Structures are given as C-alpha cells and as structure tokens.
Structure 1
Amino acid sequence: MTNFLRGFAAAVSRAKAAGIAVFVSFALVFSALPDDVAAQSFRFTNVQIEGNQRVDGATILSYTGIERGVPIEAGALNEAYQNVVNSGLFESVEFEPRGNTLLIRVVEFPTINLIAFEGNRILKDDVLADIIVSQSRRVYSPSRAEADAAEIVNAYAQSGRIAATVEPKIIRRSDNRVDLVFEILEGRVIEIERISFVGNRAFSERRLRGVLETKQAGLLRRFVRSDTFIGDRIDFDRQVLSDFYASRGYIDFQVLGVSSELTRQRDAFLLTFNVQEGQQFDVGEISVVSDLEEVDVDEYLAALKLSSGKTYSPELIEQNIARLERKAVQQGLDFVRVDPRITRNDRDLLLDVEFAVVRGPRIFVERIDIEGNATTLDRVIRRQFDTVEGDPFNPREIRETAERIRALGFFSTAEVNAREGSSPSQVVVDVDVEEQPTGSLSFGAAYSATNGIGLTASFNESNFLGRGQTLAFSFATGTDNRQGTLTFFEPAILGRDVGFRVTGSYAETNDQNSNLYDTQAIAFSPSIEFPLADFSRFGLNYTFEQTELSNYTGSSALIAAETARGSETRSSLGFSYEFDTRRTGLNPDAGVLVRFSQDIAGVGGDLNQLETSLLVGAETLAFGDVELRAEAEAGFLQTLNGTSRLTDRFFGNGKIRGFDFNGFGPRDTGAASNDALGGNQLLAIRLEAEFPLGIPEEYGIRGGLFADFGSVWGLDNNLGGTIDDSFALRSVVGASIFWDTAIGPLRFNFTRALQKESFDEEQRFDLTISTRF
C-alpha cells in the first residue's frame, strides 16, 4: 500500500496537476481499491510539512486534524487532505504516507503585489478599487478574483453596459508575489430605443412613460443616463406603475409582464409593458363605527376629509386614518387604532369605506436602540421621536419618525423597525442608520451683466460636530460689490423643539447696477423659533444693523440729503409667524403658505421705524401634471421719527418679473441722473402655471405661463410733490422654460409689460435659478 501511494504521488508530481485535481484523483484511487486495502488504517508518529513559507506548520496540522500515534482510516485521511485544500491558502497540496511519517507538500498562493485595471474609461480606478475585495499585500485567491470580476461586470451593468467583460489575470513576480490585473472590455451602452405599453386605455403611452424611472433614448441621449437598460430599474418601474394606477382608483391593476428584446443591430432594447388596467373605482358610502364608549362617532366622521364620489386612492384612505388616530391622541385615548374596512360594489364601481375605531393591543415601548451613527450623537436622532421609553406604542408614529430622520439629510440610509421586547406587551424600536457627508466647501467664479466678474467661496456643515447644528459661511466679491455671511443654527435648545439662530453679515457696493452711490451694511441678528401647532411656527428676533450711504455723484436732491446723514444704526425687535402645509399637510399635491413678520426699530439706534411683511401663497396639482401657483406679497415701512433712506425702502427686485434691477417704482425724473428711489410700500401678486411640453420627461424641460401685478410707491419726502410717488399698477405677462440641469434648475423667462410707467426700465428676457416661494 505504501509503495502504491508513493507511485501515485510521483505520477501526480510528473503531471503537475492542480491541487483539486490531485484530490479528485486521490479520492478516486481510494474508491477503486479492494475493500481490504481501502479499509487499511494508518498510524503516523511523525508529520513532515514542506513548502510552507507564510503559513505556520502547526496551522496546517490543525486543518488536518491528524493526531500522532492515533490510527486513521484511508477515508479520514482523504477528509484531512480536503480540509487543507479548502482552507484556501494553498495553490496545490500533496499527501504522501511514508511508513510512520506523513509528508505534506504545499505550494502557497502568492501574495498580491499590486492591483491594476486595464481598459476602463467609464469607471475610474478608484471606483473599481472600492468594488473589489482583493487587496494588495493580501494572499491571492483565484475564486476571490473571479468574484471581484463579477462585481465589476455588475457595476458596468448598472450603468447600462451589459455587454462588459472582465478577466482577471496574474503576472508572476519574485518572492512568490503576483500582480493582479483586471482586463476590462467595457462595451457599448445599451440604450432603450422605445418604451411601449399594451393594454392601456385610460392613460396614453406618453403619460405612462413620464411615470417611469426608465426613459427612452432621445436627442439628448449623451446627457441623459436614465435611458440605459438596467434590470433593477425595470423592477422598480413595475411598482411605480402599480402605485400610479392605484392612486387613481384602478385597484385591480396588474403588470402582466415586461418584455425586453434587442434590436436587430443589438445596440438597443425595446421595452414593452403588458398591463391590465381593470375598472376605476370611486369612493362610495363613508362611515365611522366604534365599540368604544369614549368615541363620538359623529365627531370622528366630521373630522374626515373624504367625500363620496371622489376617486378612490389608498393614499387618501391612509391620510384620513392618520387624521382619526391623531384625533384619538388629542382626546387622550391610548392604544386606539383605525382599521379601514372596504366593501366592493362592482355594479356601481364604488368602494364603501368604513373606518372602525378599535382598541388595539396594549403594547409599550421598552427601549429605543440606535446603531450606525458614528458621527451623529444619539440625542439628535432621539429628538425626532415623539415617543419615549414607556410610552404606548403607535406604529404610525414610528413610520413618521422614520421619515423625519431621513429628512434630516444626515444619513444615506435610515431604517426604523419595531421588534418584540422582553415580553409580548413590549417592543424594542431599532434605528439603523448609515452616515453620509453633510458638509460642503466650494469655490467658484461667476459673471453677470449687472455685477460683472465675481469670485465666490462658501462652507456649509449641516451636522456640525454631529450635534445636528448648522454652521455656514459664504463670501462673494464682484466688480462693484462684496458681501459675506456667517450663520449658526441650533435646532433644539436643551432638547426642546426650539431653534436658535445667529447671523452676521457684511455687504458693500460701489456704483452697483449703475447706481451713483456706495453702500455699506454690517448686521448682527440672533433669533429663536418654536412650533405653535402642527403646521405653524413663531419666531422672535433682534437685529442690530449699521448702514452707510456715501459717495453720491448724481443730481437728485433727495438722495444727496440722505447721503449727508452718514452712517446710521438700526436696533430692532421683531416677530414672525409661519403657517405651512406644503410638505406636511394631508394633501401632498396642494399646500398653503402664510408668512407674517413685523420689526420695530427704536430700541436704541438712530432709526424709529415699523416694517411689516406679508406673504400668502398656495399651490396645487391639476389635471395630473399641471402645477398651479398663486402668491401675494406686501410690505409696509412706516417711519415713526424722521424719514426713510434708500437702504431701508423696498425696490421690488424679483417681486415683479419683466423689469430691470431697480427698474420700476418712484424715480427722480427731475434729476439728470434719473435715480430710482424705491418706496415705503410694496404690493406684488404672482400667478403661474407650470406644465409639460410633450418633450420626453427625462430631459427635465417643462413650460410655464405667468402674470405678475403690483407696484412700489410712497415716500416720506417727495420734494414737495416734484417726485411722483403715487401708486401706479404694473402688469406683466410672460412665458417660462424650466430646465433641470446638473448645475441646478434653470428658468428662462420671456416677458412683456402690459402696464408700466414711461420711466420704468423693462427687461424682456432673464435667466435665473428656479425657486419656489
């Protein structure tokens, strides 16, 4: 038997077979031996190991499990051999029994000297290095290298290059080292040439394509990355389509299948969604029932924002469940939940909804566990909870807390889940987050027709020291202006929902926008703000500001008199109130915003004034994809002692479109310099509609129409009536093109003034960053 094994090992050595092949041959030979030979046992008093350099002999021996002097069967010897092979440390392994000695020869896998990527242009080396597991100065593993190659292929597939191939190769170096090279053939991007639908009757293909995350290729394919074929995105689109139809009453909607086929040229895909819409259902009878004595059914029914005949939507039902559960909490009812009971009426295509207010199980929150927050302090996450340990467990409150944590913007992922605690009546809330960068430092250059060439620098950290605080600094300088701002914000003083903000700023202009004077302003303003109700907040602020008007070279007697006053200080106390339902209201497609503020100057300083500002805005979604917005804005400056200056008054810039900077309002037409003066009163009304243009949605281009009305008027000193400061209505109509680009949402405005004064300065076109009120 010993001679046979020696011959077997010599044959394997001469064939230079791989380690696995040796093992297979070894096993086959043993299986082919006669029973009396295969059953032979060995007894090794010595184990000799050769070829190991990095791996200690004791480690190899531990893999075998062989004990000196203990009999071992041939099958167990096979198993010992397999254990050494499966350790993944050796390129080849040989077992050779020599009497009472077992000789183990091994060839260790080499060490990776360096890792390189060849042929990659789209995905850079640093990106690929983060994908793979293999690392320099680690042991090379063929299986790991193949797995790394598969991960690289998958990364290319996610970018639409499903034909990419990756082959790992090694280059032998001295001292049992290798260079690991991934040879990459990226292939072409496989675009989606066409997306079509089968079975759709209620909505057009264009409307459904706008819903999908996946887009079909078009003229701007070089700039659009959502027109590439990605399998995971198709699965997401199936769910998006289902949600779209369900929110419009098609409760039986199904995606029967999605077929994808290559074009004849094999350079693009054709996608076809086979859908079954079913019938559209409306809301039928609405009722509230409850077995709880403390629940007034009629009172809860009146709290619903749901009416019969309205198109059925699961989201609408969920919103009304939230209303009733909040009402129960306000009444001090714990462990109350609302169960919707839907009765289907196929004949009339109605869904009767019965809201059952029932007593849920008595479950309490045992504790809240937070993991993954390496930088952010626990208390920053905990203050997003309205629930603390020992409170009744409310699943809806946990879901809303998860949304608040995600809205912080501190984490790339944030999961909040509940599991059973130490008893069935208790739950543990697990918060699992993953940190993401929250700071930014930017430098830039800009050019504008009004300010010329400028340089900018800014720093912003929204999670300063992991405390949830905001620290921001910005500085900008142009041909004729300089300004800087420093802001610090603490959102929760002493753990309460009370925010503290302090802002310092400096700004100066030198004949900016062709004005014939210089200005300088330094301001410092601390403030606090806190909630009054679900949708409203109240703030208190103090402002100290020093302003100076100087170096006037024009001919207006009014501005000359104001310049002669030199530097003045303004010390004011104020308050602000805001009511906002746009993001937190029950209707996600509509919202109202009201802002009201007053500041009274005269708490020290040189000025005695009362400044009042009001903004009322509303927005809604109509016809599925048309955004309607309406805004009304007013400002009133009342001087309690003395007269106002240019630096105090309203100019309406940006409030009414279609006019140049300082382009409308009172003007000293009697002076050769024809200076704009601003006004103590401001009124602006803006109406706007934004809608699709029929252009593929992936291009991010939409259209808009707007109409603006308003004026700036009123001066404390109109030089005896020689300056016309009366109210004169301006009205402007215009069209807009909205374009979502990599640098931000751009807006192109084309305007025409219908009503204006002869001295107003019109601006027919402007390009701005798109904003919302």
Structure 2
Amino acid sequence: MAPATDAVAQEYRFNSVVIDGNERIGDASILRRAGIRRGQVVSGGQLNDAYQNLQNSGLFETVAIEPQGGTLVIRVTELPTLNRVRFEGNRRIKDDRLEQLVQSTERRVFNPAQAEADAALIAEAYANEGRIAARVNPKIIRRDQNRVDLVFEIFEGDNVEIERLSFVGNRVYSDRRLRRVLGTKQAGLFRRLVRRDTFVEDRVAIDRQLLSDFYVSRGYVDFRTQAVNAELTQERDGYFVQFNIVEGQQFKFGAVTVESDMPGVESEAYQKIVKVRPGVVYSPTLVERDISRLERQGVRDGIDFMRVEPVISRNDRDLTLDVTYRITRGPRVFVERIDIEGNTSTLDRVIRRQFDSVEGDPFNPREIRESAERIRALDYFETAEVNAREGSSGEQVVVDVDVVEKPTGALNFGGSFSNNDGIGVAVSFSETNFLGRGQQLTLQISTAEEATRYGINFVEPALLGRDLALGLNLDYAETNSTFSSFDTERFIFRPSLTFPVSENGRLALRYTAEAIEMVERDPSENGAVVQNDIDVGRQTSSSIGYQYTYDTRLTGLDPTRGVLFQFSQDFAGLGGDSEYIKTVAKVVGERKIFNEDVTLRATLEGGALSWQSGTNRVVDRFILGPQIMRGFEPGGIGPRDVGGTTDDPLGGNLYAVARFEAEFPLGLPEEYGISGGLFYDVGNLWDLSDVNLAGGTIVGESGSFRHVIGISVFWDTPVGPLQFNVSKALKSETFDKEQSFEITLRTTF
C-alpha cells in the first residue's frame, strides 16, 4: 500500500530498511531506485516519490512502502520474466513477420504497457492490409518460477475492400483511364486473389504523386489533387474513394533556346543538340533529357563544372512554355568518394557502375540523381537512398549510398493452354542478381502436348564494366506436332553482345550454332518433298549475325505514341552444312487515342532467305504461325506438299505480313480486367527456290495475299492473361488450313 496521507509526523528517520518479495533484483538496487538511504531524514512527500519511482521503474507488478517505527518496510512483487511470445488466430500475416513487429522480448521482464503497444502495432499491420476491423488482445499464461507466456489473440476480420474508385473534376481523361494510373485498385471479380484492392492510407500519397506525374508529363502543369475522400459503406465492409482533382489547361513547348554564360562555350553549337521542338506537348521528362544531352556534350568537350539550368517562361495567351537552357559554371566541387552500405550480397562494383562519376571527378548533382534512379531500376533493393554530403573540405563531396537488399531469385511453376500446342507445364528458375554480380541466369523447362523445350540463358549486363551485355543461350527443343507428318529435334547455342549505338538504338552481334533433324514418324504420310528433307538427316549451320533495334515507345517525345523498328541478318557458312543469308525486318507503330482509352497498332513484318549451299529444308524456311498471321493454323498458309496424307506445309523463302489492330474497353466494370479488340491481317508466304522438289506435288509456290478479319477478347485473370481470337478469312486458298478460333492462357504460380 502507498504511504498514508494523514501522517502523525511530517518527517521520518529510519535506522533500518526491510525489503520483502524481491527475487531477481537486489536490495541495493531497489533502494537506489527509491532514492532513500539508511539514516536519512525523509518527509511524507519523499516517501510518496520513492513509491512512484519504484512503481514507474517497469520492474514491479505491485509496490508498498510502510513506515514501522525506525524501520521502513518495502514490499514488492516483481514482474514476471517473459518466457515465450506466441500468436494465435493469424492466417493472413505469418508469425515471422509479426515477430519483427513486436518489441516484447523473451527472457526479459514482462512489461504490460509494451504488450499493449505491441498489440496496437499488430492491429496497424492488419489495417495496412485492408483489415481495419482486426482486433488483438494480449493475454498472459502464468508459469512456475515467476514466468509468463505472452499470447496475442488475433481476430483478423474481413477484408475491407475498395468498392469504387472515382474522380471529380476530370474532363480530359476518363475515370477508367485514371484508375489504370493508380497503384490502388478497385475490388475485382476475383477479390480474394487481388491484394491492391484494399484501402491503405499510406498509399494515398503515392497515388497522388502518380496522378500528378501522369498529368504533368502530358502538359497539364497546373494539375493538382485538392482532396482524397474515403468513406466506409454502411456495412463497414468497403470503401468509396474519391479523388477531387483540377486538371487545368494543356501546355506545349514554345521557343526552345540555349544561352551560355561560360566563356568559350558557344550557345549555337549546343542548340543543335536540343531535341525538343516548339509545338510538342510539354513534359518535364523531355526537359531533363535535353539537359542530360547538353551536360554530356560538355563532358565530351572537356568543359568541367558545366551546369545547365532550365528557365521556364509561361505564355497563358497561347498556352505555351518557353524554355531557355542556360549554361553556367557550377561550383568547383569534386567527388571525394562514394560510400556504399547495406549491400550484403550485391558487390560494390555492381552499384558503382551505375555512376558516371568516380572519385576525383567534378560533382554534378543531376548526374547523382540519375544514378540513384538507375540503382533503383535494378530492382535488387527494397530501398535505395543516394545522398551527397560535404567531405573533408568545402570542395569535396562524399556520396552516400544506403540500400536494403531484397530476394532476387524466383522459382516459377506455370501452365499454358492453346489449341495449337495443347496443355503445357513450365518450370523455371530465374536469378536477376546471380552471386551478387548483377548477372541474370534463367533455367527453363517447358512441356506441352506437342512441344518440349529445355533452355539456359545467362546475361552479363556490364561486360568489362561498360554498357555491353554478354548473353549466352543454350536451347534444346523437340516437337511432335499434329500439323505436320514429322517430328523435329533442334539444338541452338547462341552467344551475343549487345550495346547502345544511339539514345534509342541498340545493336546486338551474335553467333549461332544450330543443329536440326527431321525425325520420321510414318513414311506413308510423307510427301516426296518432305521425305527428301527427312532423308538428309541431321544438318548443322554456323552463322554470325546482328540485330538493330530502335524503340521510342517508352522514351519518345509523345507518351501516347511510339515506334519500334527491328532489322536483323544472319550469315551462315562458317563451317556446318549450310550457307545462306537470312534477313528479317519489322516495324511497329503504336498510338493511343480517345484520351488513351483506345490503342491502335500497326505492324509490318517481312523476311527473306537467300540459300547458297546445303539442303534448303522445311525447318530452315519461314513458317507462319498465329503469332505472325492470325486466322490460320501453324503453317496454315504457303506452299504445301500434297503428295502425302498430311499435306505438310513447306514454308517459304519469302514472307510479308501486315497486322492492324485496335484494343479498347468493352464497357464492363474495369476491375474485371476484360477488354476487346479488332484486327485485320494480310500476308503472304511464297518462293521455293533452291529446294529439292523432285517427285513432289506442290501447290501455292507462287503465293498470294490472304486477308483475315477478327475480334479479340483479353481477360487479365489472376492466374494469367487469357486471350480469345475469333477470325474469318476474307481471302484464302483452297489448300489453306484456317483456324477460326484460338485461345491462349499462360500463367505462373
């Protein structure tokens, strides 16, 4: 009990102190915490302070101080020792994650206040998972020797999902388009399999930034989110979330000029480097790219500490923004060193090569920010912070890199279905940061009813510390297709080197060693031409080649359109049985219209095979499948050997295909993930020059253009993308093999 307030005497002197009930804590420690010494004269108020000191120490369950004449009696009941911490009722959040949250530690003194705080932390973790009704009750189970078990009884409750995401104030872009921008998603058809349909307050700030980035990158520089309102439904099982936004007007670039304040730097020479032109929709990203180009040119010209600062002038009358790139001399500051912390597996050099600057180089804040973005883009780390601080002197800067690593390996089990290859199973292991060296390693095994494949792929993205990717690919495949009368066995070994040749262009140089054998199933099914090819047996080829790729779909001046161009050639004849030149070209143009709700895409693709020596077999020529020309079976168009019972496709040395398609919403709730498409394909496959046609009966050698129209349904299911194609051939040959319906599903789990 606490000291009585009605004391007979105002002062006490104790010649002795008796402490009772303590087992782990010594008498001297208790007296020290109480603040009382033997023989000391104390007042009633000081006795009360001593009581409060012991009660608030967090060591005792009960405390009583009783003066008994010249003796002070202190009785305590020690708090028990925490024997074990357990969790009950948790299914959504596993024990190991909860153990990282709680501060109550086994084999230490049990603290009831800390247990309550831990319960609040657990409840908050469930709220972040969308389970705001979760309850956590800490309970203790007493054991012998003054020990207790702490049990957190958890009632998880139901998921409180986002029933509706809506916007107020949007005139240019529809709610459907803006919902695709947000990281938060509406509750969909498969609610239990979706994790982003729960309301998390911390995610709102990220969503506001995503909306701002989306609008500003499209010229709406005055965009702002005024408020985000989240209301619970009456049943408290869902949220209605509404973003109140102001779009503003769209601005375009006006005059774009370069001015120089540095002696010896002519603005006219740097003006030619600027890519942005007047009339283009304004985007800060385009400004940043121009600045990077100018500063990189300054480095190449040997100009140290050159800085480019954009000066933006607003013209509200014509809704344009004039941009002046002002070249100035920055402060004379050098990079003293780059300190990297937190990387336990990833080697320092993997992070350092993301920096264009090294120790001793002039310090450029913009380059450091770009390096930080490159480090985050590696996707090796949960977080990556890059900051600069003053070094050993005012002219020195230390760049601190603090990272938290995350798992980068994945073991995937997947399945696929198509009416061409049948049902398939795939197993793959991928590691994007192999041995902490930033290398990529993929092992894959896939089996379908009519195809089996085993593959190993290795990529070193920075050979010799440069932007030079070394790739090694080893692939073995077997086919047992119902679309032909023979089986195939194919082995490929392909090393390659890939490097940039321009801002949007990359060049890949490769060597390919290939061995292909056509395996006979039933000679009575084969036509003469196919039988001639089978009789050749295994044939090898050794070739060198290249592929040039130019892609502006992500880095172009307009985020609503882009172009992909690919051109490749392979030259065989460096040993092996074959000598040929194979050329393939493809151009893809993409554009989003109707406020980016509809995507239009046009693809032109063609190839040519020029044979020199060896046997030009069906497996060496071009065969068009549904991924190139829809509406037909694999090998469904082109020359055919009709001398056998299967009418085998023979492929062709030349092909040309044009594909035109549109993807658009179907008006269904967007959270269902169902959209539609229309397509029109036209293509031809022809030419059997340099082919052994002896004794064969051939149709379609000269070729003709086939025309196909169709509709598509795309369903983004939780188990993988599902696609349906229904098509009709407007023009075809009588010997073609049409395929009016196609379904494809691919997934990993």
TM-score (ref. length: structure 1): 0.85
Q: 2:88 and 2:260 mapped to 1: Cα distance?
A: 70
Q: Contact between 2:483 and 2:634, CA under 8 Å: does it hold in 1? A: no
Change (3 A) 1:325 1:628: farther
Structure 2 counterpart of 1:296: 266
Answer yes or no: is 1:673 the counterpart of 2:641: no
Query: Which residue of 107, 128, 144 corresponds with 2:114?
Result: 144
Match of 1:689 among 662, 667, 684: 662
- Of residues 493, 503, 507, the one that matches 1:538 is 507
Instruction: Name the residue aligned to 2:613.
Output: 641
Q: Deviations over 1:581-611 (max 9, x none)?
A: 4445565544433333333222222222222
Higher deviation after alignment, 665-674 or 131-140: 131-140
| 1:704 equivalent in alignment to 2:677 | yes
What pairs with 1:78-227 in structure 2 (closer than 5 Å)? 84-94=54-64, 105-217=75-187, 221=191, 224-227=194-197
Give yes or no for contact 2:90–2:155 (8 Å, CA) kept in 1.
Answer: yes
Give 1:218-617 correspondences, 5 Å limit. Answer: 221=191, 224-444=194-414, 448-452=418-422, 454-509=424-479, 511-553=480-522, 554-584=525-555, 587-617=558-588
Do the aligned residues in 2 keep the contact of 1:48 with 1:101 (CA within 8 Å)?
no
On the 8 A contact 1:210/1:696 being kept in 2, the answer is: no
1:770 Cα deviation from its structure 2 partner = 8.4
For residue 145 of structure 2, give the secondary structure of its aligned residue in structure 1.
coil
Amino acid at match of 2:565: V
Alignment correspondent of 2:725: 749
- Cα RMSD of the aligned pairs, angstroms, is 3.5
3-state SS of the aligned residue for 1:333? coil
Q: Does structure 2 retain, via aligned residues, the 8 Å contact 1:371–1:432? A: yes
Secondary structure of 2:628's partner? coil
Higher relative contact order (CA 8 A, sep 6+): 2
Is 2:587–2:603's contact at 8 Å kept on the other side of the alignment? yes
Percent identity, aligned pairs only, is 54
Note the C-alpha offset of 1:141.
2.2
Q: 1:272 to 1:177 in 2, by over 3 A?
A: same
Q: Aligned partners of 2:424 and 2:243: how far apart in 1? A: 51
Question: Which deviates further from its counterpart, 444-453 or 644-653?
Answer: 444-453
Matching residue within 708, 725, 730 for 1:732: 708
Report which stretch shifted further, 705-714 or 279-288.
279-288
The structure-2 alpha-carbon separation of the partners of 1:199 and 1:100, relative to structure 1 and needing over 3 Å to count, comes to same
SS of the equivalent of 2:595 reads: coil
Tell me if structure 1 keeps the 8 A contact 2:81–2:148: yes
- What letter corresponds to residue 129 of structure 2 in structure 1? S
In structure 1, the gaps of 5 or more residues are 1-11, 13-24
Match of 1:655 in 2: 628
Question: Aligned partners of 1:196, 1:594: CA distance in 2, in Å?
Answer: 38
Distance in structure 1 (CA, Å) of the matches to 2:439 and 2:545: 24
Tell me the CA shift for residue 407 of structure 1.
2.1
Greater displacement, 438-447 / 363-372 = 438-447
Cα deviation code 1:15-51 (max 9, x no counterpart): xxxxxxxxxx55x95xx879x946x67787x885742
Larger deviation: 344-353 or 356-365? 344-353
Tell whether the 8 Å contact from 1:49 to 1:57 is kept in structure 2 after alignment: no
Shift of residue 275 of structure 1? 3.7
Offset at residue 427 of structure 1 (A): 1.7
Alpha-carbon distance in 2 for matches of 1:443, 1:218:
24
Note closer, same or farther for the CA distance 1:678–1:233 as it changes in structure 2 (3 Å cut): same
Deviates more, 1:82-91 or 1:418-427: 82-91
Alpha-carbon contact 1:402-1:415 (below 8 Å) kept:
yes
**1:267-318 Cα distance to aligned partner (Å, 9 max, x none):** 4444444444445444444433222233333343443333444444434433
Q: Secondary structure at the match of 1:561?
A: helix
> What is the deviation of 1:657?
1.8
Q: Is the 8 Å Cα contact of residues 224 and 698 (structure 1) preserved in structure 2?
A: no
The secondary structure found in structure 2 opposite 1:571 is: strand
Which residue type is aligned with residue 717 of structure 1? V
For residues 66 and 669 of structure 1, the distance between their equivalents in structure 2, rounded to whole angstroms, comes to 110
Equivalences, count: 740
Please list the CA deviations of residues 161-208 of structure 1 after superposition, one character each: whole Å capped at 9, or x if unmatched: 223222212222333232323233333433444445444455555554
Superimposed CA distance per residue, residues 615-641 of structure 1 (whole angstroms, 9 cap, x where no aligned partner): 333434444323333333333222211
- Output one character per residue of 1:394-438: Cα deviation in whole Å (capped at 9) or x when no partner: 222222222222222211222222222222322221212111111
C-alpha spacing 1:468/1:77, structure 2 compared with 1 (3 Å): farther
Query: Is this contact kept in 2: 1:718–1:725, CA < 8 A?
Result: no
Alpha carbons of structure 1 residues 575 and 222: separation in structure 2 relative to 1, 3 Å: closer
Q: Distance in 2 between matches of 1:108 and 1:544?
A: 78
**CA gap 1:69/1:144 in 2 versus in 1, 3 angstroms:** same
1:557 Cα deviation after fit: 0.7
Would the alpha carbon gap of residues 526 and 87 (structure 1) be closer, same or farther in structure 2, given more than 3 Å must change? farther
- Residues 307-316 or 634-643, more deviating: 307-316
How far, CA to CA, are the matches of 1:544 and 1:589 in structure 2? Answer: 41
Q: Which moved more, 1:519-528 or 1:238-247?
A: 238-247
Structure 1 residues 675 and 418: alpha-carbon distance in aligned structure 2, compared to 1, 3 A threshold: same
- Partners of 1:95 and 1:187 lie apart in 2 by 46
Q: Distance in 2 between matches of 1:331 and 1:697?
A: 52
Q: Tell me the TM-score normalized by structure 2.
A: 0.88
Structure 2: gaps (5+ residues):
none
Deviation at 1:579, TM superposition (A): 3.1
The alpha carbon displacement at 1:656 in A equals: 1.3
Name the SS of the counterpart of 2:723 in structure 1: strand
Give the superposition deviation at 1:450: 4.1
